[in-house]
C-alpha cells in the first residue's frame, strides 16, 4: 500500500500543470490556446514572456527533483522504490497530467529535475550544453533532442569509467524515447524548415 501511495504522489507531483496555472492565475491566459498549445516552458516563454517562462521551467524542473527525492522522506524510508522510478513516474505525470485533461508538456525540464536530484554533475553539464547548442541551432526542440542523446552517452561512459549504474542508463533510454516521441511534430517541422527559432540567444 505504501508503494502505491509513493507512486501516486510522484505522479501527482508530475501532473502539476505549471504553465497552465501560472498563465491563468497571473496572466488570465490559457497557454493551451496560444502558440504550440503545449504546457511546457518553451510555449510559456513564447506566450507569456521571459519571466513566466523562467518560473514555469524552474517549477517543471523541481517537479522531477521533488518526485525523485520522495523516497527519502521518513514516512517512506522502509519502502524500497528506486528514486529513478519515481522520477520517471513524475515525467509521465508531466506529459499526461490528471489536472489538465492528460495533455501536458514534452518531458524535458522535468527529466532534468530527475538528474538534478540523482546526478547533479550531469544536470549542470546539460544546462551548460543547452545554452551552447541552442546558440548554434536556435531551436529548443532540436537542442532538447540532442541533449537527450548526450545524456545517454554520458551515462554509458559513466557506467564503464565510474560506477556501473545501469538504472541511470535505463532511465535515460526511456527519457530519450519520451522526448523524441513528444517532439515528433517538431521533427517534421525541422525537416521542412518551418520550426520556430528563438531570437534571444
pLDDT at 35: 80
pLDDT at 80: 85
80: which DSSP letter? -
Contacts 24+ apart (CB under 8 A), 34-38: 38/105, 38/106
How far apart (Å, rounded) are the C-alpha atoms in residues 160 and 133? 26
Q: Do 141 and 195 meet the contact criterion of CB atoms below 8 Å apart?
A: yes
Q: Which distant-in-sequence residues (6+ apart) come within 8 Å of 184 by Cβ?
A: none
Number of domains in the chain: 1
Q: What domain range is 166 assigned to?
A: 2-192
Residue 62 lies in a domain: yes
- In this structure, how many other beta carbons lie within 10 angstroms of the beta carbon of residue 82? 14
- In this structure, how many other beta carbons lie within 10 angstroms of the beta carbon of residue 167? 13
Residue 201 lies in a domain: no
Q: What is the pTM of this model?
A: 0.93
Residue 22 lies in a domain: yes
- In this structure, how many other beta carbons lie within 10 angstroms of the beta carbon of residue 165? 15
- In this structure, how many other beta carbons lie within 10 angstroms of the beta carbon of residue 173? 14
Q: Do 68 and 87 meet the contact criterion of CB atoms below 8 Å apart?
A: yes
Q: Taking every pair of C-alpha atoms in the chain, what is the biggest distance, in angstroms?
A: 52
Residue 197 lies in a domain: no
- Chain mean position to CA 31: 18
Nearest to 3 by CA among 69, 57, 87, 71: 71
| pLDDT tens, N- to C-terminus, the chain (201 residues) | 789 999 999 999 999 999 999 999 999 999 998 887 788 888 999 889 999 999 999 999 999 999 999 998 878 877 889 999 999 999 999 999 999 999 999 999 999 999 999 999 999 999 999 999 999 999 999 999 999 999 999 999 999 999 999 999 999 999 999 999 999 999 999 999 999 898 877
Residue 200 lies in a domain: no
User: How far, CA to CA in Å, does 172 sit from each of 23, 103, 150, 155, 192?
Assistant: 30, 22, 10, 8, 28
Q: Half-sphere exposure of residue 96, counting CA atoms within 13 Å on the CB side?
A: 5
Classify residue 30 as left (phi > 0), alpha (psi -120 to 50) or beta: beta
Amino acid at each position: 500500500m505504501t508503494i502505491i501511495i509513493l507512486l501516486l504522489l510522484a505522479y501527482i507531483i508530475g501532473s502539476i500543470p505549471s504553465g497552465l496555472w501560472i498563465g491563468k492565475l497571473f496572466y488570465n491566459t490559457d497557454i493551451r490556446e496560444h502558440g504550440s498549445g503545449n504546457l511546457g516552458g518553451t510555449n510559456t516563454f513564447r506566450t507569456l514572456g521571459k519571466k513566466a517562462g523562467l518560473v514555469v521551467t524552474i517549477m517543471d524542473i523541481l517537479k522531477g527533483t521533488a518526485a525523485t527525492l520522495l523516497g527519502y522522506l521518513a514516512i517512506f524510508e522502509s519502502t524500497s522504490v528506486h528514486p529513478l522510478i519515481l522520477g520517471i513516474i513524475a515525467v509521465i505525470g508531466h506529459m499526461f497530467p490528471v489536472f489538465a485533461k492528460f495533455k501536458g508538456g514534452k518531458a524535458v525540464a522535468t527529466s532534468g529535475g530527475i538528474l538534478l536530484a540523482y546526478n547533479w554533475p550531469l544536470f549542470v553539464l546539460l544546462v551548460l550544453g543547452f545554452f551552447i547548442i541552442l546558440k548554434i541551432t536556435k531551436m529548443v526542440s532540436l537542442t532538447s533532442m540532442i541533449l537527450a542523446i548526450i545524456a545517454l552517452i554520458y551515462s554509458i561512459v559513466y557506467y564503464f569509467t565510474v560506477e556501473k549504474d545501469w538504472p541511470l542508463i535505463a532511465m535515460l533510454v526511456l527519457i530519450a524515447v519520451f522526448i523524441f516521441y513528444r517532439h515528433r511534430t517538431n521533427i517534421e517541422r525541422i525537416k521542412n524548415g518551418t520550426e520556430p527559432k528563438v531570437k534571444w540567444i
